């Protein structure tokens, strides 16, 4: 076949990691671009036969990137399995810790992983498109604050929940220990600092991105736009919630399409398999799989910050709500279909997480020493859901009557997003690569399409590179390597 292939390896690490393959035709235009992500092998085999109570510890060790999300989803699956409702204080402490985690993870992405794209700029010289370039642009004071506020929150999570890497506080029906008044004071201080930092970050984004016509053109461009369905957790008033609620799906016109409790997920979410990828592509069963295409007839949906804002009717805290309104006013109403708007949505969620921490820490009920209801039901099956930083995360376990796991299924955020991410990579490649011209800046425009989702290929590998290097291989029509570009 007369074509050549370009491979972008977003992670330098090892064989089998995330790669973008771009196939060019004779004219040098893109025939098709694929994203491949690694597979987590042996999870089911590993957990079958183990006590369900171990799942919050085991699943949180799958990945060093978002242990808190797995720990929380697993703990909630155990609540469901033992049909035990945690006391209010326990729920609030869980959510408090969870909001701290969401904040620090989002801050990391905005400044250090996604930052090089927008803060520094996609077409800046590649030597500057890294963490140091971000620091040079925002100033060392801000750099120190990013490190400082994240460290403070991570220390708080560790203080109440055990090590950030291996949280141990979640139990079926509650948590291991009540919140001490001193811990509450520490959380209040951390929350105040986080609110200030989130507000500052939104201001920074306004100055650097919103007031830059070129950036706004990229955000709004068709290259980075898909009109899909969106899913996210909402509270009883359809406002964004990270810890609990109903899964709400809106259609590409922003109308409510579904609203269901997590335990019904199998009725609404199905998985499609492609021969070229390990990942199973989630789609809406009620719409059906129509291929990698958008519009109301296609069951492709999206999760993560932009999707959460689209799937909700607002934010539950005042300043985040203001930012939410400004977001839609600026980008032309709901829903926003521009993938790159995820960066802005992430900052609005950071502000919400920080304000929600303030609310929870101020709530007198959070000091109630009663933080666990003992489970008495015979275990059978449990399903738990949270919004991980990268989108909806569902844990589903089945056990025998002794509580030993017989089956486990995890739907991770990047899987929910997989179809749309694949479409984004393909569309961006088609749009920016013409006549075989492929340089570093052009490839970065392709990479930006998937980095906006903050996709985590780390679930099997605890890999989190500080930046995303590229390996590009270009082959002639006889599949001989003619050129290799490397960016570290």
Partner 1 sequence: MAILILGLGNDLLSDDRIGLLAARALRALLQGQEGIEIVESAGSGLALLDLMAGYERAIVIDAIQTGQVPPGTILEWRVREPLPVRAPSPHFTGLPELLAVAQALQIPFPEEIHIYAVEVTDPYTLGREITPAVRRALPELMRRIQAQLQAWQVSPEGA
| Interacting residues toward partner 1 by CB under 8 A | 11-16, 38-43, 45-46, 58, 61-65, 67, 108, 112, 130-132, 135, 140, 143-144, 147, 150-151, 154, 164-166, 458, 460-467, 469, 488
Cα 436 from Cα 446, distance rounded (Å): 14
- Residue 261 CB, nearest approach to partner 1 (Å): 29
Locate 411 and state its tokens. 């739907």
- Residue 165 CB, nearest approach to partner 1 (Å): 5
- Nearest to partner 1 of 58, 306 (CB atom): 58
- Nearest to partner 1 of 68, 238 (CB atom): 68
- Residue 128 CB, nearest approach to partner 1 (Å): 13
- Residue 41 CB, nearest approach to partner 1 (Å): 5
DSSP bridge partners of 388: 391
- The answer to whether 451 and 110 have CB atoms below 8 angstroms apart is no
- Nearest to partner 1 of 66, 320 (CB atom): 66
433 to 31, 32, 80, 426, 443: CA distances (angstroms):
10, 11, 49, 11, 8
- Residue 142 CB, nearest approach to partner 1 (Å): 10
The upper half-sphere exposure of residue 192, i.e. CA atoms within 13 Å in the direction of its Cβ, equals 6
- Residue 371 CB, nearest approach to partner 1 (Å): 27
302 to 61, 222, 251, 311, 354: CA distances (angstroms):
26, 17, 11, 10, 24
- 229-234 vs 246-250, strand pairing mode: antiparallel
- What is the DSSP code (8-state) at residue 299? -
- Using CB atoms within 10 A of its CB, is residue 157 exposed (0-12), middle (13-18) or buried (19+)? buried
- What is the DSSP code (8-state) at residue 379? P
- Residue 452 CB, nearest approach to partner 1 (Å): 19
- Nearest to partner 1 of 11, 351 (CB atom): 11
- Nearest to partner 1 of 39, 85 (CB atom): 39
- Nearest to partner 1 of 131, 367 (CB atom): 131
- Nearest to partner 1 of 40, 209 (CB atom): 40
The upper half-sphere exposure of residue 228, i.e. CA atoms within 13 Å in the direction of its Cβ, equals 34
- Nearest to partner 1 of 1, 140 (CB atom): 140
SS3 of 276-298: CCCCCEEEECCCCCCCCCCCCCC
- The answer to whether 66 and 464 have CB atoms below 8 angstroms apart is no
- Residue 453 CB, nearest approach to partner 1 (Å): 18
Cα 276 from Cα 422, distance rounded (Å): 12
| Phi-psi domain of 44 (left: phi exceeds 0; alpha: psi -120 through 50; beta: other) | alpha
């Amino acid at each position: 076949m007369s074509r050549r292939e370009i491979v972008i390896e977003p992670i330098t690490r090892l064989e089998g990691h995330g790669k973008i393959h771009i196939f060019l035709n004779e004219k040098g235009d893109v025939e098709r671009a694929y994203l491949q992500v690694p597979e987590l092998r042996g999870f089911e085999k590993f957990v079958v036969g183990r006590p369900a109570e171990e799942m919050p510890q085991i699943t949180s060790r799958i990945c060093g990137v978002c242990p808190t999300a797995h720990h929380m989803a697993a703990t909630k699956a155990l609540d469901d399995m033992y049909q035990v409702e945690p006391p209010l204080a326990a729920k609030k402490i869980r959510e408090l810790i969870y909001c701290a985690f969401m904040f620090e993870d989002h801050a990391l992405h905005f400044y250090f992983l996604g930052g090089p794209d927008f803060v520094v700029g996609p077409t800046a010289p590649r030597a500057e498109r890294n963490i140091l370039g971000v620091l040079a642009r925002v100033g060392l004071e801000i750099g120190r604050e990013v490190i400082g506020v994240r460290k403070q929150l991570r220390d708080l999570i560790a203080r109440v929940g055990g090590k950030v890497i291996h949280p141990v506080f979640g139990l079926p029906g509650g948590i291991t220990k009540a919140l001490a008044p001193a811990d509450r004071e520490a959380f209040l201080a951390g929350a105040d600092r986080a609110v200030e930092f989130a507000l500052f970050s939104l201001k920074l984004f306004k100055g650097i991105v919103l007031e830059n016509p070129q950036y706004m053109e990229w955000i709004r461009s068709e290259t980075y736009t898909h009109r899909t369905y969106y899913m996210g957790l909402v509270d009883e008033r359809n406002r964004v919630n990270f810890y609990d609620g109903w899964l709400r799906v809106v259609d590409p016109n922003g109308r409510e399409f579904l609203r269901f409790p997590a335990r019904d997920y199998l009725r609404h979410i199905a998985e499609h398999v492609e021969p070229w990828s390990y990942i199973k592509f989630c789609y809406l069963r009620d719409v059906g799989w129509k291929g990698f295409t958008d519009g109301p007839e296609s069951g492709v949906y999206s999760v993560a910050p932009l999707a959460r804002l689209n799937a909700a009717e607002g934010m539950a805290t005042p300043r985040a709500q203001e930012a939410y309104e400004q977001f839609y006013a600026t980008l032309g109403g709901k829903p926003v279909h521009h993938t790159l708007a995820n960066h802005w949505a992430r900052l609005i969620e950071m502000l919400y997480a920080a304000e929600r921490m303030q609310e929870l820490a101020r709530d007198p009920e959070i000091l109630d020493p009663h933080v666990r209801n003992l489970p008495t039901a015979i275990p059978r099956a449990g399903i738990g859901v949270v919004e991980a930083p990268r989108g909806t995360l569902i844990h589903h376990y089945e056990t025998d009557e002794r509580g030993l796991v017989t089956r486990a299924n995890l739907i991770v955020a990047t899987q929910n997003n997989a179809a749309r991410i694949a479409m984004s990579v393909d569309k961006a490649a088609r749009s920016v690569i013409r006549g075989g011209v492929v340089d570093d800046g052009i490839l970065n425009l392709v990479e930006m399409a998937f980095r906006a989702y903050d996709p985590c290929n780390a679930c099997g590998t605890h890999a989190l590179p500080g930046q995303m290097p590229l390996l590009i291989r270009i082959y002639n029509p006889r599949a001989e390597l003619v050129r290799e570009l490397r960016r570290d």
